[in-house]
Structures are given as structure tokens and as C-alpha cells.
């Protein structure tokens, strides 16, 4: 499932995040890449020990993790500290699948869901689309600042070359309570139906049944 979540970050949050990134020290993005990805990765990332990191995470990850659509789509068990990536002209990230296990020794997590949060406007740069290969063909994603896109970490994907301007994003990964992507997608569709029924017919018997089915399927499929 590829899901765009609009307006995760508001205007003030984006302004604060951009101001912090403008002050940050960026390093070669290949330093954080696995052996395979290192061959095709060409970007820059905010240094992991940058003084701005804590404030950025509070702004960006605080908004993402609290968003109900992210919660429903990713069903997060563990959420990684993000990388803040910058692409300038000529930079790209070739076809790759995200590493299955990430994190430091003793803090490993499985990557089930990848999330990109767009931190500047699409007109600020040419190219730079996130291109995800799906069973329905390539999906090209280039969203307004503040939007997020969620997609399976197992997807083959790449970032198209930036031809002009500067692309700024935050990228993070989630170990989901539900490992199977098809099960997560079914649960998300059921969640949407349940929410609509709770809004329109909160006291209906059908609403109660759908609610019980959703809750019990989460219980059945969740791994903690």
C-alpha cells in the first residue's frame, strides 16, 4: 500500500524545521547506507550528532507519530529516528530496497514501512520524485511541503535525479505490529470503513460489528 498523508506538518512547523535545517551540518549520505545501497546513493544527510536533531525530531516525528492516518496505516511498534536528507542538482538515489534490519547493536528493528516527509515545496526543485514500483506500475510521488508518503520498505524504489534547486525530506522506518503488508492494507481499509460508520451511524448494529471485527483482527495479527 502506498498512502499519501496530507498536511502532517503545518506552516509554522515547516518554517521552524527549515530554519533548523538551514543551520545544520550535512554530510555524505553514503555514510549511513548499507553495502548495496551505498553504490546507488548520492545525497547529503544532516549529521546524526547535529545540535538541531532533537528539535527537528520533536517537530517532525512528533507530528507524524501522532497523526491518526499514520497510526492506522503503519500500526507502529517501533519507529526509527529519521534521516534528514538534502538533494542538490545532480544528486539521486538509485533503485534499491531498504535494508531489512536497521539500528545499532542492541537496538535493532525490522523495517516494514518506509515514510518520507516532504519539507519543501515541489516547485523549489526540478525532478526529485520518489518513484515506487508497485504491482500497478511505477508511482511517482512529489508532494507539497508537510505531506508524507507511506509505503512498504520491501518495495523497489528510487529518487529521481534533482535537476535544479534543492529537495529536503525526512525519511524514517517503522517496525509494524502487523508484519504482513497485505494484512496491514486490509486493516487500513477496514479502519476507514469503521471511522466512516462511527461518524455517520455510531449507534447502528453494523457499526458495532465492524468495530469488533477490526479490533479482533488487530488482536489476531499483531506481533509484539
Output the pTM of the full model.
Answer: 0.95
pLDDT at 32 over 90: no
Q: Are 63 and 13 in contact (CB under 8 A)?
A: yes
Which domains are present in the chain?
Answer: 3-176 (2.60.120.620), 181-221 (no CATH)
pLDDT at 131 over 80: yes
Which pLDDT does position 186 carry in this prediction? 98
Which of 92, 100, 96, 65 lies closest to 81, judged by CA? 65
Secondary structure of residue 197 in the 3-state scheme: helix
Q: How far apart are alpha carbons 75 and 163 in whole angstroms? A: 36
Tell me what the pLDDT averaged over the chain comes to: 95
Q: How far apart are alpha carbons 187 and 74 in whole angstroms? A: 10
Asked whether the CA dihedral 173, 177, 182, 188 is positive or negative, the reply is negative
Amino acid at each position: 500500500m502506498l498512502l499519501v498523508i496530507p498536511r502532517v506538518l503545518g506552516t509554522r512547523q515547516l518554517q521552524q524545521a527549515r530554519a533548523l535545517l538551514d543551520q545544520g551540518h550535512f554530510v555524505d549520505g553514503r555514510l549511513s547506507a548499507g553495502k548495496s545501497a551505498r553504490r546507488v546513493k548520492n545525497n547529503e544527510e544532516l549529521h546524526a550528532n547535529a545540535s538541531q536533531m532533537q528539535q527537528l525530531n520533536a517537530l517532525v516525528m512528533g507530528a507524524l507519530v501522532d497523526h491518526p492516518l499514520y497510526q492506522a496505516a503503519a500500526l507502529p511498534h517501533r519507529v526509527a529516528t529519521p534521516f534528514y536528507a538534502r538533494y542538490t542538482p545532480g544528486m539521486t538515489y538509485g533503485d534499491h530496497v531498504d535494508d531489512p534490519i536497521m539500528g545499532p547493536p542492541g537496538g535493532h528493528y525490522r523495517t516494514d514501512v518506509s515514510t518520507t516527509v516532504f519539507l519543501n515545496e515541489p516547485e523549489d526543485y526540478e525532478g526529485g520524485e520518489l518513484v515506487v514500483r508497485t504491482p500497478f506500475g511505477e508511482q511517482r510521488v512529489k508532494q507539497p511541503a508537510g505531506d508524507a508518503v507511506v509505503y512498504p520498505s520491501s518495495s523497489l524504489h528510487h529518487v529521481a535525479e534533482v535537476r535544479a534547486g534543492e529537495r529536503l525530506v525526512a525519511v524514517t522506518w517503522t517496525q509494524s505490529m502487523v508484519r504482513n503488508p497485505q494484512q496491514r492494507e486490509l486493516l487500513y481499509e477496514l479502519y476507514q470503513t469503521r471511522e466512516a460508520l462511527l461518524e455517520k451511524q455510531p449507534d447502528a448494529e453494523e457499526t458495532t460489528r465492524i468495530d469488533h471485527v477490526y479490533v479482533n483482527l488487530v488482536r489476531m495479527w499483531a506481533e509484539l
